[in-house]
Amino acid sequence: MAGTIAIKNGYVFDPLNEVKGERMDVFIRDGKVVRELSASEMDNAKVIDASGMTVMAGGVDSHSHVAGAKVNSGRLMRPEDHYKCYMKKTPLTHSGSGYTVPTVYLGGYEYSKMGYTTVFEAAVPPLEARHTHEEMRATPMVDMGGYLVLGNNWFLMRYMNEGDFDKAAAYVAWMMRTHKTYGIKCVNPAGVENWGWGENVSSLDQANIHFEVTPTEIIKNLTEINEHLGFPMPLHLHANNLGHPGCWEITRDSLKIPSNVKGKPNVDVEWAETKMNAKRHESVYLTHCQFNAFGGTSWRDFESGVKGITDYVNGKDHVVMDSGCVPFGDATVMTGDGPAIHDLYVLTGNKWSNTDVECECGSGVLPFTYLKSNPVHSVQWAMGLEVLLYVKDPWKSIMTTDSPNGGPFTKYPLVMAWLMSLKARQDTMAECHKWSQDRSGLGGEEREMSLYDLAILTRANPARTIGMAYRKGTLGVGADGDVSIYNIDPTKLDVNDYEGLIRNLQNSEYTIKDGEVVARQGEIVAIPEKRTYYSDIKVPDADEKHMLEDVKEWFRYYTLGFSNYPTPERYLANPTPMTVNPLR
Question: Where do contacts with Zn ion occur on this chain (CB under 5 A)?
Answer: 122, 402
Nearest-CA neighbor of 68 among 170, 145, 175, 156? 145
Least Å distance, CB 538 to Zn ion, is 30
At its nearest, how many Å lie between Zn ion and the CB of residue 192? 14
- Residue 341 CB, shortest distance to Zn ion, in Å, is 12
Amino acid (one-letter) located at 145: G
Report the SS3 class of residue 146: strand
Task: CB nearer to Zn ion: give 17 or 181.
Answer: 181
Q: Pick the closer one to Zn ion by CB: 122 or 389.
A: 122
CA angle 25, 26, 30 (to 5 degrees): 145
Q: What is the DSSP string of 420-442?
A: H-HHHHHHHHHHS-THHHHSSSG
Q: How far is the CB of 324 from Zn ion (least distance, A)?
A: 7
- Is 293 or 479 the residue whose CB approaches Zn ion more closely? 293
Shortest distance in whole angstroms from residue 411 CB to Zn ion:
15
- Residue 141 Rama label (left phi>0; alpha psi -120 to 50; beta): left
What is the C-alpha to C-alpha distance for residues 178 and 352, in angstroms, rounded to an integer? 31
Residue count (the chain): 584
Nearest to 536 by CA among 154, 296, 268, 164: 268
Nearest CB to Zn ion, comparing residues 3 and 462: 462
Q: Which is nearer to Zn ion, 122 or 142 (CB)?
A: 122
Secondary structure (DSSP) of 248-275: HHHHHHHHHTTTTPPP---EE-PPPP-S
- Contacts of residue 584, Cβ cutoff 8 Å, sequence gap at least 6: none
> Minimum CB separation from Zn ion for residue 400, in Å?
8
Q: How far is CA 307 from each of CA 199, 406, 409, 498, rounded to the nearest angstrom?
A: 29, 19, 25, 27
Residue closer to Zn ion by CB (options 241, 428) is 241
* C-beta closer to Zn ion: residue 128 or 402: 402
CA distance 309 to 396: 12
Q: What is the CA radius of gyration of the chain?
A: 23
Pairing of strands 510-513, 483-486: antiparallel
52/452 Cα distance (integer angstroms):
16
Least spacing, CB of residue 405 vs Zn ion, in Å: 6
Give the residue with the Cβ less far from Zn ion, 68 or 481: 68
The H-assigned helical ranges of 102-187 are 104-113, 129-138, 154-162, 165-179
Q: Give 460's DSSP letter.
A: I
In a 13 Å sphere around the CA of 412, the CA atoms on its Cβ side amount to 30
Residue 126 C-beta: closest distance to Zn ion, Å:
17
* Nearest residue (CB) to Zn ion, 117 versus 405: 405
CB of 489 to Zn ion, least distance (A): 35
